[in-house]
Structure 1
Amino acid sequence: MRRSLFIPAFAAVLLVATVVVGRATDHPMPMTANAVVALPTPTRLPSSPAVAVTLRPATPTPTPKPAEPFLVRTWGAHDRLIAYNPADRQPQWTLPLGIPSADGKHYYTASSGNDATVVDHFDLRTGARTGQFTVFDNWAVSGVSYQGRWLAMTRIMNADEQRAWSLGTHWQTDILVVEATSGFVVHRLRLEGNFDVETISGSGDALFLIQHLPAIHPDHYVIRLYDLTHDMLQADPLRAKGSDEIMAGLAWDGLASSDGRWLLTLYLSTKRDTAFVHTLDLVNHLPVCIDLPSGTGNFDLLKNYTLALTPNNQTLFAANATLGVVAEINMESRQVVRTVKFPAHPTAPSTSGIPESHSVLSKDGHSLYFTNGHTLWDYTIGSDMVRELPVHTARIIGLGLSSDDQHLFLVDMDEAMTILDTPKQGLWYSPENVASADAQHVTSTMSSIPTTQLSTSTVACPVTRPPNPPFVPPPPYLSSPPSLDPHDFWYGTGELWTNLPKDDVWGQLPHEDAGFTQKVFWYQDFDKPESGLTVTGRRLDAAAPPLLVSPTIDGGGFLGATLTGVDFPTLGCWEITGHLKGHDLRFVVEVAP
């Protein structure tokens, strides 16, 4: 089962040991309450001080003047957080990769190395660091409770552990629950099986987990509840009353309610090609799946859904500009109560591996603004009216509103901020003119406060897939890559491209001292070749040293392609980026045993 780069907004900061998650599978699969084979037995970690915590006084950082910063992640939830000052439209402060609390007040980061992990606590309203503690061994932040009190982290396994567990039948997950202010380890768990942290309750008495089944090559998963008060894993998976379904699919995006009740995850079924919202009631411990309008089942179009929750947490909106639909969901009944259609806008399939659609609700409850990264829309809540708004920027990566609802905030892929007056005019679409629209026209998310999270515990590898339609390079290159595997495909643009495997996995790579070795060919215009290619890489699903890249050399017989050798320090989900004269090519691969 492959899970995407989405992090639940108030997963407790836990420290969890887990391996690379498997592939996504189809959503509902029948099972009974007793169908889980070999239920894992939770055990306490050794009572000896296997984990030590060192508290440090917080190092004061300059505190900006009180303001309402607009928070944006430039590359989804796997990148730094930038706070823009609307007064001058410039970055005010920047924080490294981390996890926010759902109430918008706390932000936690972790950096590991040399068998120690330093956790920093920041005030999300000012960017000031307010605390720090150190935990021995290597861990990754995997969640934070909705008010930021409880943290969860995941122990990072080394490559040898990953290989041994992948080849064997034994799998275990180590988890810590930490009180964030003091750094005190409240719970230390060792679970037999392959688990991710979903979230932790605001009171710190319940830990919600994803269990991957089977552990070694999972093709589905279930939601499990660990009772922290009684220190036990409940025997039966969580599911809706009367339902025998288990979870399977790709967790693409999500958000959490500011009151700590709801964890809402947008799932994409990879076999049924449908979208649905998995709602998890953290108070009543009840999950329910809500199907969304899915058009003809085009998987790439379903990725353009974006979720927004009203300030009172009673209504959820799911908008998709490429499908031309807005769905309104009542959170008490957990049903779609209104569907509004408008002319769909086609866009090129996402190549970033992260959500590219964004939405934000006005505080007066009147308007929903949303974008697919290219076009901006305004939906008047409670009506059938949607309008397209004029906007002239590069691809939009951040969308928000001022506190008075008078101004729209946009940040584009060049990290430039634009401020627009709340639009008073635009092209309105009603059900009548939607019906007469041209039939051919139908083919990441951060708002003003980041309420979604991305951690190693809930992230699966969003491997790069073949584009549709296929990319065909300019002459004299062949329409198919000149590789030994006939299933490889071209990927990129006319300025820079490469060939990738269709099975999404780079496995059985040679293992040297520097890591797992692979060669990458980079292609460009044969008649106008450019020099100066640089290559970088980073692991997405866990902390790891950066990719090691050898000097580039001429690819010779491959029509002058540039060849780079890369060494992956660990197995896992890796993003590789080629930079050439202002053109970037990113792709994601899973490096497996």
Structure 2
Amino acid sequence: MATTAISRRTVLSVLAGAGAATLVGCDPTPTPRGAPATDLPDALLVEVDDGLGVLRGADRQTVAHSIATADGMAIYATAPQGADTAFWRIDTTTGHTSTRVVLPGRWVPQAVSAAGTTVALTPTAANVTTGRPAGRDVTPVLIADLRGVRHRLELRGNFVPETFTDDLAGLFVLEWLPPTAPDRYRVRVVDLGTRVPGPLSTRTKTPVPPGAEEEMRGDGRQAVLRPDRTTLYTLYTHQPDHQHTRDLISGRPGNVHAFVHTLHLTERWAYCVDLPHPFGEAPASGHAMAITPGGDRLLVTDVTSGTVAEINTEDLTVRRTAALAGGAGNGHAAADDGRLFVGAGRIVRTAHLADLGRATEWPVREPVAGLVLSPGGERLYVGQVGAVSWHDTATGAELGRVAVPGLVALHRLAGRV
């Protein structure tokens, strides 16, 4: 799979379907007699209704109040245990569960470190790409791993955890302003030693001056982690009268409709790559990103206009744009080293990166709800209404299909055997 997308941190619900089982030790439900058995070639992570599940072969597996690691190899889960919370890790390849740790109070997982070892939990679910949180003056945050509680924070203000610094000494957060009636936000980093939030650095690794921190009012659409786990890219749209830190420092005017917020997890700097018109003009749901396996190219698409922008992740510039056919519906994307796949409505388009302006297309039965490439790139999994199908990436021919009742989105590959 070429794209590691970190979309909403979700609370998991029971996934219906033949051969359903849970990752927490319940007995599997047998497939009804006479029902066809279709096995998925690869394990997948999906969202169903208001939850997340694992599809593996003929099994349908879920666990409540969970978050998946960026590589899909593990899930961290919580469950009420009296007045406290049980916390544990599930290996998505084997279904093996770790020993449960008891956390004081009630918590749900909110963000997981890029390496998949540490989790930030909050009392209520809220995340970077699901809109604004409720107003509050104080935000409790618990940092835990399989040894137990590592830090407990009481942050003065309205904060939403996003991810961790590479050394786990800092927690990146969105600070919503004003705290009790939030309408804008800024990205900050909490030093876990001092428990104090502060500004990030600029790309030149100098501290952001007071008053020059960016405040955003737009929609966080999707987050993608670079394969080497050093950088998190988040797509934002609809930023009326927005000014980047570099504009605030220089005094230049700014009015950006869409950009990719680049967050370096090791060096703690942030930089925004502006996207050209017409990005950000159409609904946020029509935008999507995919990164190549080597991490050198980030592809952003606006399916409404059909525009694709290729970002060079080394110098953080838009290298080129291209026009595909426009469409309607939610946008989804996946990429390997040579191809970009874009899905919207009942159409999947394929373009070779060597010639982004030319694309082939093939129809699917229902509106696309996620695209995931198989490890070798020979199959493309397509989430649809109540099902996941998989297709030959060269011809678009449907190779198989499984029913997934209540499917909301297809996210990524799960663990591998």
User: Normalized against structure 1, the TM-score is what?
Assistant: 0.53
User: What residue is the counterpart of 2:293 in the other structure?
Assistant: 311
CA contact (8 A) 1:120 1:132 kept: yes
How big is each residue's C-alpha offset from its partner over 1:193-247, in whole Å with a ceiling of 9 and x where there is no partner? 111112112432111121122211123222222222x324254455555783513
Which residue of 356, 360, 382 maps to 2:334?
360
- In structure 1, what residue type is equivalent to 2:144? V
Shift of 1:113: 6.9
CA contact (8 A) 1:358 1:445 kept: no
Q: 1:380 to 1:95 in 2, by over 3 A?
A: farther
Q: 1:108 to 1:294 in 2, by over 3 A?
A: farther
Q: 1:123 to 1:111 in 2, by over 3 A?
A: same
Q: 1:146 to 1:137 in 2, by over 3 A?
A: same
1:66-465 alignment, distance < 5 Å? 68-75=42-49, 78-85=50-57, 90-112=58-80, 114-156=82-124, 171-179=137-145, 181-182=146-147, 184-228=148-192, 230-233=193-196, 235-240=198-203, 244-248=212-216, 249-269=218-238, 271=240, 274-295=257-278, 298-300=281-283, 302-345=284-327, 347=328, 356-362=330-336, 365-415=337-387, 417-424=388-395, 446-449=410-413
CA contact (8 A) 1:266 1:275 kept: yes
- In structure 1, what residue type is equivalent to 2:233? L
How big is each residue's C-alpha offset from its partner over 1:450-508, in whole Å with a ceiling of 9 and x where there is no partner? 79xxxxxxxxxxxxxxxxxxxxxxxxxxxxxxxxxxxxxxxxxxxxxxxxxxxxxxxxx
CA contact (8 A) 1:195 1:212 kept: yes
- CA distance in 1 between counterparts of 2:65 and 2:320 reads 37
- In structure 1, what residue type is equivalent to 2:194? D
- In structure 2, what residue type is equivalent to 1:188? R
- CA distance in 2 between counterparts of 1:152 and 1:130 reads 18
- In structure 2, what residue type is equivalent to 1:80? L
Shift of 1:62: 8.4
CA contact (8 A) 1:268 1:275 kept: yes
Q: 1:91 to 1:425 in 2, by over 3 A?
A: closer
Q: 1:247 to 1:311 in 2, by over 3 A?
A: farther
Gaps of 5+ in 1: 10-57, 158-164, 349-355, 427-443, 452-593
Larger mean CA deviation between 386-395 and 127-136 belongs to: 127-136
- In structure 2, what residue type is equivalent to 1:449? L
CA contact (8 A) 1:8 1:263 kept: no
- In structure 1, what residue type is equivalent to 2:109? V
CA contact (8 A) 1:83 1:92 kept: yes
> Which SS does the other structure have where 1:382 is aligned?
helix
1:476-515 alignment, distance < 5 Å? none
> Which SS does the other structure have where 2:375 is aligned?
coil
How big is each residue's C-alpha offset from its partner over 1:384-407, in whole Å with a ceiling of 9 and x where there is no partner? 343232223111223222222222
Q: 1:221 to 1:117 in 2, by over 3 A?
A: same
Q: 1:6 to 1:104 in 2, by over 3 A?
A: closer
- CA distance in 1 between counterparts of 2:56 and 2:232 reads 27
User: Normalized against structure 2, the TM-score is what?
Assistant: 0.74
> Which SS does the other structure have where 1:405 is aligned?
coil
Shift of 1:412: 1.3
- CA distance in 1 between counterparts of 2:299 and 2:223 reads 12
How big is each residue's C-alpha offset from its partner over 1:150-175, in whole Å with a ceiling of 9 and x where there is no partner? 11101249xxxxxxx96xxx821222
- CA distance in 1 between counterparts of 2:51 and 2:320 reads 35
- CA distance in 1 between counterparts of 2:223 and 2:307 reads 18
> Which SS does the other structure have where 1:80 is aligned?
strand
Shift of 1:84: 4.5
Q: 1:126 to 1:292 in 2, by over 3 A?
A: farther
CA contact (8 A) 1:112 1:140 kept: no
CA contact (8 A) 2:343 2:349 kept: yes
Give the share of equivalent positions with the same residue, in percent.
24
> Which SS does the other structure have where 1:129 is aligned?
coil
Q: 1:66 to 1:187 in 2, by over 3 A?
A: farther
Shift of 1:107: 0.9
How big is each residue's C-alpha offset from its partner over 1:303-344, in whole Å with a ceiling of 9 and x where there is no partner? 211111122222211122221111111112111111111221
How big is each residue's C-alpha offset from its partner over 1:10-52, in whole Å with a ceiling of 9 and x where there is no partner? xxxxxxxxxxxxxxxxxxxxxxxxxxxxxxxxxxxxxxxxxxx
- In structure 2, what residue type is equivalent to 1:409? Y
Structure 1 vs Structure 2 CA RMSD: 3.3
> Which SS does the other structure have where 1:339 is aligned?
strand
- CA distance in 2 between counterparts of 1:237 and 1:203 reads 15
- CA distance in 2 between counterparts of 1:328 and 1:370 reads 14
CA contact (8 A) 1:122 1:131 kept: no
Q: 1:62 to 1:387 in 2, by over 3 A?
A: farther
CA contact (8 A) 1:270 1:299 kept: no
- CA distance in 1 between counterparts of 2:110 and 2:277 reads 31
> Which SS does the other structure have where 1:152 is aligned?
strand
Shift of 1:270: 5.2
Q: 1:66 to 1:186 in 2, by over 3 A?
A: farther
Q: 1:220 to 1:392 in 2, by over 3 A?
A: closer
CA contact (8 A) 1:401 1:409 kept: yes
> Which SS does the other structure have where 1:328 is aligned?
strand
Q: 1:188 to 1:376 in 2, by over 3 A?
A: same
> Which SS does the other structure have where 2:382 is aligned?
strand
Which entry has the higher C-alpha Rg, 1 or 2?
Answer: 1
Q: 1:82 to 1:227 in 2, by over 3 A?
A: same
